[in-house]
Structure 1
Amino acid sequence: MARHIDIEKQRETALHDAVDVLLSGHPVAIPTETVYGLAADATNPAAIARIYETKGRPQFNPLICHMASIAMAEEYALFDPISRKLAEAFWPGPLTLILPLKPDSGIHALATAGLDSVGIRIPKGFASALIAAFGRPLAAPSANSSGKISSTSAAHVEADLGDRISLILDDGAAPVGVESTIVKVEKDGSVRLLRPGGLVAKDIERVAGIKLIRPKKASAAIEAPGMLASHYAPGASVRLNATSVEKGEALIRFGGQPIPGEEQAAIVLDLSPQGDLAEAAANLFDHLKTADASGAASIAITAIPDTGLGEAINDRLTRAAAPRP
């Protein structure tokens, strides 16, 4: 099983030991403000291959490359003026920018799935310090089996990947709870939202000075992580916008509002009894895991407002409920 290091109690040990594992070409589970990531050297093809192998992830699905600073990011990618403005406003934080790779970029093609662009973000807290200590970008998808529910705690990582990795860095529960928002600035200056996430769209629009373009339908082209139609899926089937509960179903509701039949549910969970979307986002993956562990064959989920962070929550739930490949 994987070794755990409590960052709050053993920060220097965590930095030293994590760098050693990364230098050996193996992945480390690291905390970020969004979810826990499975991190490895983005310039080392063997290390990147171990991420795909550990997760069981398709290699046509690119990985986000995490940097310690804008200066580091500029060593690997090209910034247009709007992307630069967004980076300065929201990094470190839950925003990923899709940027053109520099011709001599050291990021290996396995991390970008062969694309000529790369998803980059700067995480908050310990992860950024680790990248700075390592001195190279870290490719880091969520620390869970591919397509399954993302991990928001070290315990989640242990339960899923503990027998496949050697080191888990524990910094408590991830405060945001959903992955980063992904945007791409096009050559004509328009900004496309590729994946809603922990940074709400209206804040991006305020800084960019223009409205985000949202896809009208799912695209077959994979331009960024988290774009697969079926993703974030528990073992149980997922039923959205539930207005009643069938006997034996697990129920995940929102806003403290009971619905008919919940007295016969296998378990009742509330993303936020107060109707707080930030709290709901932070609880989303943990509640999905808890509902799945109840043994129910189906998880009923009540409607979530599609505003602010609700857009990211509904994106994850739609992909969790999609037909499995």
Structure 2
Amino acid sequence: MSKFKQLIEQIMAKRVSIHQEDSIGIAVQLLKAGKVIAVPTDTLYGLACDATNIQAVTSMYHVKQRNEHKPVALCFGEVFQLESWVLVNHLPKNLLKSILPGPVTLLLNSNKNVHKYICRDGKIGVRVPNYQFIRQLTVKLGSPVALTSANLSSEPSAVSCEEFPAIWNKIPAVFDGGVTNIIS
């Protein structure tokens, strides 16, 4: 292997197939260590970190070069987990279960004091993607992940790992699930 290729591999994120047997375990370990990773969802690739670790959320803003006044979404593995973070009693019965999991972000009222990076004016964007990898990841992590698209701010969103190389040198791992199923 050439010295140039070795150098590139040292500074670039490790690419991990989501089909690799221990991919969820690797992702959970990185998130628990406060790292930001790239993951596929049901629509796009996203940057993810442990939503309960504000240093990790701050780091995610820096990786993306995102304005810190723009909130990120919270991603959950199961619909019932939303109740720990947002108010749902006012919603029609079974509404959440009828639209989630799915390719939507819902803006709901917070039911607790949530950090400003996640909560704006008492509201939080929440997701339960229809994608097993990210759902299993959040369940194994034991907390929601903060999630934003895997691209530099103002750049196009990515539906494959190859579409966000500017971020690869800023994160330890990219979890490769192939091309996502973006809905136009």
Question: Scaled by the length of structure 2, what TM-score is found?
Answer: 0.88
Q: Distance in 1 between matches of 2:143 and 2:85?
A: 10
- Check if 1:116 corresponds to 2:145: no
Contact map agreement 1:38 1:51 (CA 8 A) in 2: yes
Secondary structure at the aligned position of 1:145 is classed as coil
Structure 2 unaligned residues grouped into runs of 5+ = 1-11
1:2 to 5, 13, 34: 13
Identity %: 31
Q: 1:130 matched to which residue of 2?
A: 137
* Structure 1 runs, 4 residues or longer, greater than 2 Å off: none
Q: Which residue of 1 aligns with 2:6?
A: none
Quote the residue 2:7 is aligned against.
none
1:194-232 CA-partner distances (Å, limit 9, x unpaired): xxxx4xxxxxxxxxxxxxxxxxxxxxxxxxxxxxxxxxx
In structure 1, stretches of 5+ residues that fail to align are 178-197, 199-280, 282-325
Q: Residues 74 and 96 of structure 1: is their aligned pair in 2 closer, same or farther, counting only changes over 3 Å? A: same
Match of 2:30 in 1: 21
Cα distance in 1 for partners of 2:166, 2:94 equals 38
Give 1:86 deviation, angstroms: 3.3
Cα distance between partner residues in 1 of 2:80 and 2:166: 35
The alpha carbon displacement at 1:108 in A equals 2.6
* 1:81 paired residue number: 91
Measured in 2, the distance between the counterparts of 1:171 and 1:126 equals 9
Q: Which residue of 1 aligns with 2:168?
A: 162
Specify the alignment match of 1:290 in structure 2.
none
Q: Look up the match of 2:52.
A: 43
Name the CA distance, whole Å, in 2 between partners of 1:96 and 1:74.
15
Q: Shift of residue 165 of structure 1?
A: 0.7
Shift of 1:40: 0.6
Given residue 48 of structure 1, which amino acid in structure 2 is its aligned partner?
Answer: V
Separation in structure 1 between the aligned mates of residue 34 and residue 116 of structure 2, nearest angstrom: 16
Q: 1:138/1:130 Cα in 2 relative to 1: closer, same or farther (>3 Å)?
A: same
Residue correspondence of structure 1 range 223-262 to structure 2 within 5 A? none
**Cα shift at 1:22:** 0.4
**How many Å apart are 1:41 and its aligned residue?**
1.1
- Equivalences, count: 171
1:254-296: CA deviation from partner (whole Å, max 9, x where unpaired): xxxxxxxxxxxxxxxxxxxxxxxxxxx3xxxxxxxxxxxxxxx
Q: Give SS of 1:140's match.
A: strand
1:56-75 aligned at under 5 Å gives the runs 56-75=65-84
Residue 230 of structure 1 is matched in structure 2 by: none
Separation of aligned partners in 2, 1:119 and 1:21: 23
Secondary structure of 2:117 counterpart: helix
Task: Measure, in 1, the Cα distance between the counterparts of 2:172 and 2:153.
Answer: 18
1:110 CA displacement? 1.8
The question of whether the paired residues in 1 share the 8 Å contact of 2:79 and 2:101 is answered with no
Cα distance in 2 for partners of 1:50, 1:161 equals 12
Query: Aligned-residue CA RMSD in angstroms?
Result: 1.4
Larger radius of gyration: 1
| Paired residues of 1:42 and 1:108 also in contact (CA < 8 A) | no
**Does residue 1:146 correspond to 2:153, yes or no?**
yes
SS of corresponding position for 1:109: coil
Report the alpha carbon displacement of residue 117 of structure 1 after superposing the two structures with TM: 0.8
Separation in structure 2 between the aligned mates of residue 19 and residue 156 of structure 1, nearest angstrom: 24
Q: Distance in 2 between matches of 1:85 and 1:55?
A: 35
Is the contact between residue 70 and residue 117 of structure 2 (CA under 8 Å) also seen in structure 1? no
Q: Which amino acid aligns with 1:16?
A: G
Amino acid at match of 2:13: A
The separation in 1 between residues aligned to 2:65 and 2:86, in whole angstroms, is 28
